[in-house]
Structure 1
Amino acid sequence: MDLIEGILARRTTNGAFLPDPVTREHQHLLMRVAAAAPSHFNSQPWRFVLIENRDTIHHVADIAGRSMQELIERGVFFERYRRYFRFTAAELDERRDGIFIDHLPAPLRPFTRQVFSDMGLKLMRQLGVPARLGEDNRKLVAGSPLLLAVLLDKNEHRPGELSGFYSQFGMGAAVGNIWNTVGTLGMGIQFISTPMELPHQWDAIRAIIRAPDDLDLMAVYRLGYLPEAERRPTIDWSSRHRKRLAQYVYRETCDTPERDPQPTP
């Protein structure tokens, strides 16, 4: 039950971490649970880089901040992801996916529904919102005591072949094990996604960690211990809603949605 409750309570940390270093014991524990994941023919294609050096973290933070600012200013971010934004609690409750836009910078709150239109993006630029969001992102990464880079062995990760799927499946299972373990250690984790939206910024991170030609850099995460009270960031990209069984599970064939269980009287 502790395992199940932990999985159901999983969270993504959008706020700041404590400045305390992550203990070597906890770092190695996270690596061991990652290695316990299944992989095709026990190929274990994953590789990890644990990053504690402050200069390196600040360098990655600068890239993350610039990436966020560029994506917002160009409108690329909202154009790519606007289908996931929900603007009312009723819409979120019906769809049960995406994120609830209930926490925006004060000047933008009167324009919530228009914020992702061309006019809204123009207003955001005039108000300096892209720079503010970029700086918020930079600070979050810069204040993280630990970064984790995830790579795949190119001998296994061959896109377009089944081995490409198998290796990504194994990597997902390994990262899932990490994600479901951090909470038991009083830690949090968040995907540093913005640099990989821009190939030149992703290449810069590859260079920072000196990723060799035989390894693909797949993802970078920030980790740390959680404070007792978390402050919400300028825009909070999270939602705890999950689809109902009838929205994603079928019985016997894809013609028959699974029925949601009836509430216990």
Structure 2
Amino acid sequence: MNPTASPQPAHRYPQEQIDALYRVIRERRDMRHFLPDPVEPALLERLLQAAHQAPSVGFMQPWRFIRIADRDLRQAIHALVEQERVATAQALGQREDEFMRLKVEGILECGEVLVAALMDHREAHVFGRRTLPQMDLASLSCALQNMWLAARAEGLGMGWVSLFDPLALAKLLQMPAGAEPMAVLCLGHVPAFYERPMLEQAQWATRQSLADLVYQDRWPAQGEPQA
């Protein structure tokens, strides 16, 4: 036994389970290409349960999910996304044409479409949000990441679409005042998972070095080398 070796944490999972966890984190992808095969109801239920197991600030559980079963409603959501896609491209200036060549959603192709939203009456939840009210969105993001990882482990793809006017989508879905749609989720079977994030494969952006994103003790001054 190495006397200098640190003891393993008492509640550590078996190594093969740890490896599987890191693998699903590493191989999760924001998917845009889908097969039309349906998602089994029991599998969809498991993924929603995974989302519902997420942590939330003050245990407020702000997430709400709307399953889009009506094909005409899917088409209407797709039209809203397409409208914002064009507006986003125009706002990108020199990268407009490059952006328009990207596939940014799979709403009409995927097996399931869900809209993830923040509930109404969130102002009643003060615990953990008095100075950081945006923690409701952070909590919803944790739920979506749970679902994303569970979907990847189950062999399904998921894509988070944020190209839409939230007021228009809320009106389309008859959401009450104060509720806010935050994501159109494309979920379903895929022909293959991207080897790297799609936007990296398309050379839209590259993953930054972790060393450039981790600071010690304070935010470094501009131009100062990282510790």
Query: Which TM-score band (shorter chain)?
Result: 0.7 to 0.9
Matched, 1:170 2:139: yes
TM-score, normalised by the number of residues in structure 2: 0.73
Q: Which residue of 2 aligns with 1:98?
A: none
TM-score, normalised by the number of residues in structure 1: 0.63
How far has the Cα of 1:163 moved from its partner? 5.7
More helix by share: 1
Contact 1:148 1:221 in 2 (8 A): yes
Deviation by residue 1:190-233 (Cα, 9 ceiling, x = unmatched): 2222213xxxxx33321222212242222222111111487xxx
How far has the Cα of 1:49 moved from its partner? 0.9
Let me know the Cα RMSD of the aligned residues: 3.1
Q: Which residue of 2 aligns with 1:216?
A: 180
Q: Identity of counterpart residues, as a percentage?
A: 23
Note closer, same or farther for the CA distance 1:165–1:193 as it changes in structure 2 (3 Å cut): closer
Deviation by residue 1:66-98 (Cα, 9 ceiling, x = unmatched): 3323433xx21x14xxxxxxxxxxxxxxxxxxx
Contact 2:162 2:182 in 1 (8 A): no
Matched, 1:243 2:208: yes
Contact 2:35 2:190 in 1 (8 A): yes
Q: Give 1:145's match in structure 2, choosing from 65, 86, 111.
A: 111
Contact 1:21 1:146 in 2 (8 A): yes
Structure 2 unaligned segments of length 5 or more: list them: 1-18
Matches of 1:237 and 1:2, distance apart in 2: 25
Matches of 1:3 and 1:166, distance apart in 2: 25
Matches of 1:250 and 1:229, distance apart in 2: 33
Amino acid across the alignment from 1:219: A
Matches of 2:120 and 2:156, distance apart in 1: 31
Matches of 1:25 and 1:69, distance apart in 2: 37
Structure 1 unaligned segments of length 5 or more: list them: 80-114, 197-201, 231-235, 259-265
Within 5 Å, give how 1:87-98 maps onto structure 2.
none
